[in-house]
Amino acid sequence: MTKVLVFIDNPGASLKKSSLELLTLARSLGESTVAINGDLSDDVAATFAEYGVGTVLHPSANDLGDFLVAPKAAYLAAAAETTGAGIVLVDNSPEGKEIAARLGIRLNAGVITDVVAVDPDGTAHKSVLAGSYNTACKATTAVSVLTLKANNVAPEPASAPSTPETATVEVPAVANAARITAREQKVASGRPDLTDARIVVAGGRGMDGDFGPVEELADALGAAVGASRAATDAGWISHDAQVGQTGKTVSPQLYISAGISGAIQQKAGMQTSKVIVAVNKDAESPVFEIADFGIIGDVFDVLPQAAAEIKKRKG
Amino acid sequence: MKIVVLVKHVPDAQFDRHLNGEGNTADRDESILSELDEYALEAALQLAEARGGSKAGNQVIALSMGPAGAVNAVKKSLQMGATEGVHLTDDALAGSDAAATSLALAAAVRHLGGVDLVLTGMASTDGETSLVPAQLAERLGLPQVTFASSLEVDGGRLTARRDADTSSETVEAPLPAVVSVTDQINEPRYPNFKGIIAAKRKSITTLSLADIGVDPAQVGFAGSWTTVTSAEERPPRTAGTIITDEGDAGIKLVDFLAAQKLL
Ligand SMILES: Cc1cc2nc3c(=O)[nH]c(=O)nc-3n(C[C@H](O)[C@H](O)[C@H](O)COP(=O)(O)OP(=O)(O)OC[C@H]3O[C@@H](n4cnc5c(N)ncnc54)[C@H](O)[C@@H]3O)c2cc1C
């Protein structure tokens, strides 16, 4: 049976949905071991058991988080070697991809990013060229390293829980790593996380400095708030909200684009959304070429009316 | 300072892009210098200028790996102000994945020798994996700083800022290092007339795999660690219903969401 190693950095007090997706996928591919970095809470330990994890590994050092990725990759490589993993699964965050990148070199393993599904034989599926092709790829090496995009696997506990063993992995010294010398925590918005939200309401330059209507509609729908680069560059909303080629890639059930023209770099981040709604007062905007439902109208009329109607219907 | 900037020749995203090369590689007919690499080049030029430019011995070397046409990415970099160009080209490189690409680029950087900094864009706009900068750093045994939104170099150390999901970080590393930069770091300059004329006099060195001591079996389709087994073009999204607001579009929007079971 293939041994599958899952990396979960700082699991915190409870596992994120994307981590549960990794555990679910790992179990479908073989026998799963988790390598964590950071503290293991009782709740998370219980979840590992529920998800059928065989072994939980800890690093011998506790300062991996003080450096950029290199020591984490070294730890994970050592973990993969001791467990004899054939597949290593990492989340698809920018950091996850970098850890995968370095890990690949350390293990002489092919790395595939942006994976949305994995077949039992290890073939990974992903879309490329801004969502215009669906491809199947495979590592030709003994070990494959895959980074899984959030929202593509339904989290499901094992049919029978496991009693995970624990073990410590010696972290090899890494001579040259960039050190994190300061960290400013960002204020949490209380809204769903953009990359794995089921619904995203995004605003662009058409919001003219006022994201209120976007936020109001997002809250009525329980949605995350996104933005075009024009809106983040103008400082109307934090850069984290940017969707697109140089921002986040989202693939929600519903994407509402408000006052956004639909430039190629914006489309690159959202065109795999299931349903796209666009509100724009210019009928010529390219966003209408990809919208399932387009409204030629003013965002300051349409968004508040829709938010009020949703609240009314939801009672 | 000796700065190498990796510049990639990529299919222009303004046009439809296709996978129709051998082994499902991208069709490179309508290709340009990856716009994300322009930010890396601009960052390199600013670092060099702040140190007295090329007169003071600062070198900004634009390095591109790719087929004959990729030399255009090097030429554009020279027009923007890079001091030298290097084009690594060899038939055996075709089909290289990130691992093979990083192997060849690492060998090219070693071949150039004495490099203080390798700058790259945050991702290529074709492969979009962001793997190469980290893999290059791992192969060269160098510290890596990715997604830098600011970059300063003071003596033998660099300081950068990067934006993570839940925090903003300041990071430090000794030189030499590999740094990838985002589109937040600067506003790339356009080549001006003077730059275009000056570029004609700058040299472009062509390197083959033999020049950098890489065995052809380690790169290209043969040396890659991943393979694309199938590729299917997604049907392009077709436009749906478009309505014009007559005072009730917000209500109609909610009706649509209800009908789609999205409420
Ligand atoms: C290297 C690079 C990377 C980039 N990366 C990204 C990226 O990741 N994400 C991204 O979004 N962009 C990115 N861009 C920028 C992109 O090219 C566009 O400039 C940007 O997406 C435009 O944002 P916008 O649609 O909000 O603004 P605009 O193009 O100005 O469009 C505003 C739209 O709002 C409409 N509007 C105005 N007022 C109203 C109103 N009252 N009611 C309704 N509609 C109204 C207008 O009709 C117009 O269509 C990138 C560009 C480059 C060069």
Q: Which letter does DSSP use for residue A284 in this model? A: T
Inter-chain residue contact B143 with A128, CB threshold 8 Å: no
Inter-chain residue contact B171 with A298, CB threshold 8 Å: no
pLDDT digits (tens, 9 = 90+) for B145-163: 999 999 999 989 999 999 8
Inter-chain residue contact B224 with A110, CB threshold 8 Å: yes
Q: Tell me the pLDDT of chain A averaged across its residues.
A: 94
Inter-chain residue contact B228 with A136, CB threshold 8 Å: yes
Decide: A301 in ligand 1 pocket, CB within 6 A. no
B230 interfaces chain A, CB cutoff of 8 Å: yes
pLDDT digits (tens, 9 = 90+) for B23-34: 666 666 678 888
pTM of the model: 0.91
Contacts of A304 in chain B (CB under 8 A): 250
Decide: A52 in ligand 1 pocket, CB within 6 A. no
pLDDT digits (tens, 9 = 90+) for B38-69: 999 999 999 999 999 999 999 999 999 999 98
Inter-chain residue contact A295 with B243, CB threshold 8 Å: yes
Decide: A191 in ligand 1 pocket, CB within 6 A. no
Distance in Å, CA A130 to ligand 1 centroid: 17
DSSP string, chain B: -EEEEE--EEE-TTS---B-STTSPBP-SSEEE-HHHHHHHHHHHHHHHHTTTGGGT-EEEEEEESSGGGHHHHHHHHHHT-SEEEEE--GGGTT--HHHHHHHHHHHHHHH----EEEEESS-TTT---HHHHHHHHHHT--EEEEEEEEEEETTEEEEEEE-SSEEEEEEEESSEEEEE-TTS--PPPP-HHHHHHHHHS-EEEE-HHHHT--GGGSHHHH-SEEEEEEEEPPPPPP-EEEE-SS-HHHHHHHHHHHTT--
Least confident of A203-207, B92-96, B209-213: B92-96
Task: Kindly report the nearest CA distance between residue A234 and chain B, in angstroms.
Answer: 12
Res A196: pLDDT: 82
Give me the count of residues in chain B. Answer: 263
Report whether pLDDT(B117) > 70.
yes
Q: Which atom of ligand 1 is nearest to the CA of A282?
A: 47
What values do phi and psi take at B220, rounded to 5?
Answer: 70, -160
Contacts of A110 in chain B (CB under 8 A): 97, 99, 224-226
Q: Which of residues 142-161 of B touch A (CB under 8 A)?
A: 142-147, 159-160
Question: What interface predicted TM-score (ipTM) does this complex get?
Answer: 0.89
B138 interfaces chain A, CB cutoff of 8 Å: yes
Report whether pLDDT(A47) > 70.
yes
Handedness of CA A267, A270, A276, A277 (dihedral sign): negative
Report whether pLDDT(A295) > 70.
yes
Res B24: pLDDT: 64
B257 interfaces chain A, CB cutoff of 8 Å: yes
Decide: B211 in ligand 1 pocket, CB within 6 A. no
Inter-chain residue contact A111 with B184, CB threshold 8 Å: no
If one compares B258 and B14, the residue with the highest pLDDT of the two is B258
Res B92: pLDDT: 96
A93/A101 Cα distance (integer angstroms): 12
Q: Which atom of ligand 1 is nearest to the CA of A228?
A: 11
DSSP lists the bridge partners of residue A147 as: A90
A35/A52 Cα distance (integer angstroms): 14
Task: Kindly report the nearest CA distance between residue A44 and chain B, in angstroms.
Answer: 20
User: Ligand 1, from A194, A195, A280: best to mutate by most atoms within 8 Å of Cβ?
Assistant: A280
Res B19: pLDDT: 66
Res A151: pLDDT: 86
Inter-chain residue contact A180 with B171, CB threshold 8 Å: yes
Distance in Å, CA A101 to ligand 1 centroid: 32
pLDDT digits (tens, 9 = 90+) for A255-291: 999 999 999 999 989 988 999 999 999 999 999 999 9
Task: Kindly report the nearest CA distance between residue B204 and chain A, in angstroms.
Answer: 30
Contacts of A292 in chain B (CB under 8 A): 240-241
Inter-chain residue contact B164 with A292, CB threshold 8 Å: no
Decide: A206 in ligand 1 pocket, CB within 6 A. yes
Residues 6+ apart with CB under 8 A from A234: A205, A209
Contacts of B244 in chain A (CB under 8 A): 283, 295-297
Contacts of A307 in chain B (CB under 8 A): 250
Distance in Å, CA A253 to ligand 1 centroid: 22
Assign B237 a pLDDT band (cuts: 50, 70, 90): confident
Distance in Å, CA A261 to ligand 1 centroid: 5
DSSP lists the bridge partners of residue A203 as: A227, A258
Q: Which of residues 160-179 of B touch A (CB under 8 A)?
A: 160, 163-174, 177
Res B10: pLDDT: 78
